[in-house]
Amino acid sequence: MKSNQSLFLFKKVFFFFLLLFLPFFFARAQEEQLLDSSSSTQSKEAILIANVNLYEAQIEKQENNQVTISFIVSNDEDKYYSDIQYGLEVLRITPVVATDLKTQEKKEINYQELFDFVSYPQDILSLKPHQKIKKQIIYTLPEASGSFQFLVKAFNKEGLLYGFGIAGEIHLNKTIPVELDSTTCYLRLNQEETKYSLKEGVSLKPEEELYLFCTLKNNTNQDQSFSISSKTYQRYYLNGQEINFPNYQETITLSPNQTKEIKIAISRPTIPQAYDTVFTFKNQNYSFPKIAVHYVVSGSSATLQLIKIDRDYYSKGDTAQVTVFWSPAADNFPQSRNQTNQENLKIKLQINSQITNQVCSQEQILNLDSKNLFSQFSLPIIKDCPNPKVLAQIQEKNQF
């Protein structure tokens, strides 16, 4: 437990630095709950956005490729939280030789690549103040070879990360006839020569074309055929918000001992937002690492990341305190190819009861301060309101 807590504290400090200097990280899953309360140089106060955490992740049992993983999700705050989701990332750990940029010394490091992931959108958690829930995952790893690490994450539907835990590692020794090394993969736009990494979130206009390149190697003296398919998710693949539109489907055959670079045109949405397109390479006998491509379609895409209220019951005449954490347009990050400047943003708020389905507060349209991503609003309650829920929408001024 002590090591998990130390890791969590390190995570808080490290990602507070990221939030101050790398706004890009608002575009994908938030790896933290800390935020600079103002862009003013006079204030650098850190505000705790959410205090939902994940503890004691561990592998309880392993039988060949199947593992049983347990963990605890905890609400360490005095407020009620709903819409808590969880998922599992499987990372393959590969020793590689890297060069230290300062000393130019070559060192062996453990490279982590995404191999598989599972989300559980059907099991959404709600936690009362200081409540803890123990959960269990049973996962079967596809036929593969190497060292695999299991990372459990808790987050909300927008991909805001509450906490994570490393459950442990397992080792499998299998003979895999075809190699797909994700380090060989990169992106290109249109006819440009510039290469982009899979994770940097390259921004592109709706009409631009995006291509994925990866190298495959057949280590056998026989033809090897496999299928390639894709799924696209809004903002973050682990939150399960899959976009429903035609995805990539193809079958490829490698001749004996062939090494081949493949080129895939990424079919993607044109609505401005951050997306993950995940490619799955499969053979009937074995699986490859999943290839997750993160990119941003430029345009107006400010997003509500988290909304919380101060009570789980209101009486008529009370005033609800609504806390909102939002992020600017997804293409608003350093070195973005296209940046959208969204000003005059407004938020529409209303509170309803999830038990009676009645309106508990009048709908209000309020201004958002573009320099403050953390905002608080007061809503007068007009009717008794058990199990209240906030309905919220963020738009530019002329869209309401």
Domain end point (choices 172, 197, 226): 172
pTM: 0.76
CB 252 within 8 A of CB 225: yes
Does the residue 37 lie in any domain? no
- Give the pLDDT band of residue 139 (cuts 50, 70, 90): very high
Rg (CA), the chain: 23
Q: Which residue in 164, 150, 162, 144 sits closest to 69, CA to CA?
A: 150
Mean pLDDT of the chain: 81
pLDDT at 400: 53
Segment 49-53 mean pLDDT: 80
The DSSP element (H or E) to which 151 belongs, if any, is strand 146-155
Residue 326 has pLDDT above 70, yes or no: yes
Task: Tell whether 184 and 159 lie within a shared domain.
Answer: no
SS3 state at 285: coil
Domain boundary among 172, 193, 209: 172
pLDDT digits (tens, 9 = 90+) for 271-297: 898 999 999 988 877 778 899 999 999
Domain-located, residue 143:
yes
Asked whether residue 21 carries a pLDDT value surpassing 50, the answer given is no
Q: Is the pLDDT of residue 28 over 70?
A: no
Q: Choose the most confident range, by mean pLDDT, from 49-53, 59-63, 305-309.
A: 59-63
pLDDT > 90? residue 152: yes
What pLDDT score does 260 carry?
92
Written as six digits, the tokens of 115 are 């191999």
Q: Does 66 or 32 have the greater pLDDT score?
A: 66
Q: For residues 358 and 61, what is the distance between their CA atoms, to the nearest angstrom?
A: 47
Residue 5 has pLDDT above 80, yes or no: no
**CATH number for 268:** 2.60.40.10
Residue 36 included in any domain: no
One domain, residues 90 and 149: yes
pLDDT band, residue 49 (cuts 50/70/90): low
- When mean pLDDT is compared over 71-85, 92-106, 330-344, 373-387, the highest value belongs to 373-387
Domain enclosing residue 338, as ranges: 303-399
Which residue, of 150, 172, 194, is where some domain finishes?
A: 172
> What residue ranges in 205-265 does DSSP mark as E strands?
210-218, 224-234, 249-254, 259-265
Tell me the torsion sign for CA atoms 128, 129, 133, 139. positive
3-state secondary structure of 164: strand
Q: C-alpha 71: how far from its chain's center?
A: 19
**What's the number of domains the chain is made of?**
3
Question: How much is the pLDDT for 330?
Answer: 83
Can you tell me the distance from the alpha carbon of 160 to that of 150, in angstroms, rounded to the nearest whole number? Answer: 20
Cα 197 to Cα 224, 274, 360, 386: the distances in Å are 27, 15, 47, 48
Sign of CA dihedral 183, 188, 194, 198: negative
CB 95 within 8 A of CB 136: no
In a shared domain, residues 185 and 147: no
Which pLDDT score is estimated for 176?
Answer: 76
- From first CA to last CA, the distance across the chain in angstroms is 48
Q: If DSSP codes are grouped into helix, strand and coil, which group holds residue 270?
A: coil
SS3 letters across 31-98 = CCCEEECCCCCCCCCEEECCCEEEEEEEEEEEECCEEEEEEEEEECCCCCEEEEEEEEEEEEEEEEEE
Q: What is the mean pLDDT of residues 86-97?
A: 89
How many Cβ atoms sit within 10 Å of the Cβ of residue 43? 10
Beta strands at 132-140 and 146-155: parallel, antiparallel or unpaired? unpaired
Q: Give the mean pLDDT of 204-226.
A: 91
- Asked if 268 and 297 count as a contact pair (C-beta separation under 8 A), the reply is yes
pLDDT in the model for residue 17: 33
Same domain for 72 and 186: no
Q: Domain containing 110 — which CATH number?
A: 2.70.50.60
- Tell me how long the chain is: 400
Sheet bearing 319-327, strands edge to edge: 303-309, 319-327, 374-380
| CATH code of the domain in which 332 resides | 2.60.40
Q: Is the pLDDT of residue 382 over 90?
A: yes
Strand partners, 249: 229
Q: Helices in the chain by DSSP H: which ranges?
A: 2-21
The first and second tokens of residue 311, run together, are: 């009570």
Asked, for residue 11, whether it belongs to a domain, the answer is no
Give the model's pLDDT for residue 352.
92
